[in-house]
Structure 1
Amino acid sequence: MSITTQTSGSPGTGPAATLRGPGHGVRAAWIMTASGWSANQFSALLGAYRSELGLSESAVTGLFALYVVGLVPGLLIGGPLADRAGRRPVALTALALNLLSTGVLMLGAGTTGWLWPGRFLTGVSAGALLAAGSAWIKELSSPPHAAGGAMASRRAGLFVSAGFASGGLVAALIARWSAAPMVMAYVPHVLLAAGAGLAALSAPETVRRHGGHGGHDGGTKTPTRTGRQFRRAILPVAPWVFAAPSIGFATLPGLVHGGLVYAGVATAVVPGTGLLVQPLARRVARRHRLATAVAGLLVVAVGFGAAALAVRAVSPGLGLVAAAVLGAGYGFVLTYGLTEISALAPPHRLARLTAYFWTAAYAGMLAPYAVSLLSGVAHPPALFTAAAVLAVLSCAVLVGLAERSPAHPAPPGL
């Protein structure tokens, strides 16, 4: 699905449509790396906030969950706004807010009260960046009159995953050996976000509207049909996109008694494995798109089973294995979700539906908070076993719904 073929009055027409290409897409994609980095740099410092600043377990877990609380309005406001006002202004404004949020977190080294607004602003800015940036990069990366929708959509996922994989590890290593860990650990993100903003400034807008209230996609998809397909094909899978990795890098390290550097390694292993398996996920998707989701959910189930064993044995080594398996499941389900959105969304609703996907996906990041709340009534191994069963049940629901739903065409370039 190439947005550059739309008629006048639709997004993607006008001078910007002739300026697209992989070069612009790559330059703009670094803002996605900054978004992923900002999310995970804090995760690697959870243990340090407990030990260095004396924060309680519930306070640290609440700060982790507060990111999602901010993320949801960022996504739900940023997506529709990017469809109306354009991808570029929303994405660049969100990047500036993302940079500001890191500055606020740095103030938290002296006064812990700053951590709460800093974490909330990180969520808001990252949400708007994911919604507007994903759509912008997809459209910038699709050459005029060429089929590259799915490939372009995956670029956003790859750059986000790279930020997830790098941010936590770098922050943990700096915090381990720095004289001012709660400040210096955030400096790399400041540099990355500033550089990403400078690189993205040269990328053009991809939305051009010539009067009226926007165009249409020229196709047969209606909002009702699109919403039905979204609920059936994406909602059963989306929460697992981040439920699996958040347990792998935020919850497991503490339960297996890993240290600060161990937590940083875990934050790199989980999304890093997700990056490594995405080529395999794409090959599976070429044969049968639903198989990518089925494989991902089953791998997630295995990962939760391994996590239960690691916690029972208090084994850091097995904990890293479980984290890697959960990361592999993340790679599969993320590839599936972005591919489905590319096929499902008409151009004028691309940012909105992308925002809905990321909202459902990030709901899974509340999983560590749920484990913390439920640990009073059930031990973590039992909770992880229950999560494995839920992942299998989600797989069964997805397959059942798919059998009753008409298939929508595969996106070009898959």
Structure 2
Amino acid sequence: MSAGPSGFYGLGRTPSFWLLGYAFLMLFVGTTIPTPLYRVYQEELHFSSGVLTLIFAIYVLTLVPSLLAFGQISDRIGRRSVLLIGFSLAALAAITFASAQGLAALFLARAMQGVATGIVAGAGSAALAELEPSGNSRKASFVVTAANASGAALGPLFAGALAEYGPWPTRLPYLVLLVLMLPIVGLVGMRETVAKRRPLALEFRLPAVPAGIVKEFAFASAASFTVWASAAMYLTLAPGYVAMLLQLDNLAVGGVFVSLMLIASAAAQFLGRPLPFRTAMTAGLALLPLGLGSLILASPLHSAALLLVGTLVVGAGHGLGFLGAMVLVNKIAPETQRAEVTSSFYIVSYLGVALPAVAIGFGAQLVGLFAAVAIFSALVSLLAIVLLAASRRMVSVG
């Protein structure tokens, strides 16, 4: 046990680091539990695919203002108190989902998840970078991105299985999540990493990005936006697309394909750790058009194999692209503005989740699911190719 700057005794650096990593994992498990359940909600409450994607997107539409308001607060008052507020709100969101009886409750629970993630994202990423025992920012970046992808993969997997084969399909997954979140209470004893406090100032403003890192920051953010746009499609409409292609009405199968994409992402991040950030990002961007192309061809060819290949390739592209972007942001962010710069990065990344998801959801209403997925995939692939061309002109970061 050791004393942090606040004077309270708590966990040492290493236990604090890994407990916070676990907390991140559970946070992202919670955000993707609804994915295979959207079809159940849709059937029970009779809403369209456009409304479905709005429920998904309200997460980001509340997350971004939360980042704007809270992104720099932990730099002033410390990481621990901000993180405890964020994870408490995440638990309250799970309780709201578990007790939801109508559309309003679903929007409210999803909004609370967005605010919770916005509170935690910048402070948690900065804390992990500061708590890593050897000061290895690459390892801290890997823990953040792997917890993100692994947690997001586990959510649809166990939620789909519990909903298909267990009782209370729209409640049991959240009750299990709440049990898994119990160890997060230990963050009360987390080592505080902000030694010099400043007065609290809640400001609703864009987090600042220092002028000297704008070019590299813009490239990393654009790459992250692109890979998360492809992930957004899986997290909203993939279960329906899989059911249409395979002609299977099984919640677990839809959840499995979403999980496979995110498992491939986590595996790519693990295997890609030794790669330079530029190599990881460009490899991820190059894989996206290949994976999305396979996904589209799978439907007219009625090929489950192409669907599987496309899912794994998109996942690998997402993982490598996001890992490389996160490492670059951690490398260039000044120590005194790390949470603020990280929050700016997350704002752009999560806009890549929300805006395309809403567009493809309402597009599916207008032109049909297959056409909407095909058009969306073509646009994301084009953006990836443009960024690949731009990467050759990016200034190298030492």
TM tier relative to shorter chain: 0.7 to 0.9
Amino acid at match of 2:318: Y
1:321-342 deviation digits (Å, cap 9, x = unpaired): 3222211111111111111111
Match of 1:182 in 2: 170
Picking from 254, 273, 288, the partner of 1:282 is 273
Amino acid at match of 1:130: A
Picking from 325, 338, 341, the partner of 2:326 is 338
Match of 1:307 in 2: 295
- Assess if the C-alpha contact under 8 Å between 1:244 and 1:326 holds in 2: yes
The gaps in structure 2 that reach 5 residues or longer are 201-208
Matches within 5 A, 1:15-164: 21-108=13-100, 110-141=101-132, 143=133, 146-164=134-152
Match of 2:387 in 1: 398
Question: For the residues of structure 2 that align with 1:375 and 1:392, how far apart are their CA atoms?
Answer: 19
How many residues align? The count is 382
Q: Percent identity?
A: 25
State whether structure 2 residue 188 is matched by structure 1 residue 201.
Answer: yes
Deviation of 1:296 (Å): 0.4
Deviation of 1:57 (Å): 2.4
- Assess if the C-alpha contact under 8 Å between 2:37 and 2:159 holds in 1: yes
Change (3 A) 1:308 1:380: farther
Change (3 A) 1:177 1:392: closer
Which has the higher mean CA deviation after the structures are superposed, 385-394 or 146-155? Answer: 385-394
Picking from 217, 221, 245, the partner of 1:235 is 221
What TM-score, normalized to structure 2? 0.87
1:358-388 deviation digits (Å, cap 9, x = unpaired): 2211112232321122235655555545545
Deviation of 1:122 (Å): 0.8
Amino acid at match of 2:210: P
Change (3 A) 1:290 1:117: same
Deviation of 1:92 (Å): 1.1
Match of 1:253 in 2: 239
Change (3 A) 1:61 1:211: closer
Match of 1:408 in 2: 397
1:21-57 deviation digits (Å, cap 9, x = unpaired): 3332001111111211111001121111122343332
State whether structure 2 residue 156 is matched by structure 1 residue 168.
Answer: yes
Picking from 360, 378, 396, the partner of 1:371 is 360
- Assess if the C-alpha contact under 8 Å between 1:99 and 1:194 holds in 2: no
Question: For the residues of structure 1 that align with 2:192 and 2:383, how far apart are their CA atoms?
Answer: 38
Amino acid at match of 2:285: L
Amino acid at match of 2:361: S
- Assess if the C-alpha contact under 8 Å between 1:274 and 1:329 holds in 2: yes
- Assess if the C-alpha contact under 8 Å between 1:87 and 1:206 holds in 2: yes
Question: For the residues of structure 1 that align with 2:228 and 2:367, how far apart are their CA atoms?
Answer: 22
Deviation of 1:351 (Å): 0.9
- Assess if the C-alpha contact under 8 Å between 1:256 and 1:315 holds in 2: no
For the aligned residues, what is the CA RMSD? 2.8
Question: For the residues of structure 2 that align with 1:304 and 1:380, how far apart are their CA atoms?
Answer: 15
- Assess if the C-alpha contact under 8 Å between 1:50 and 1:60 holds in 2: yes
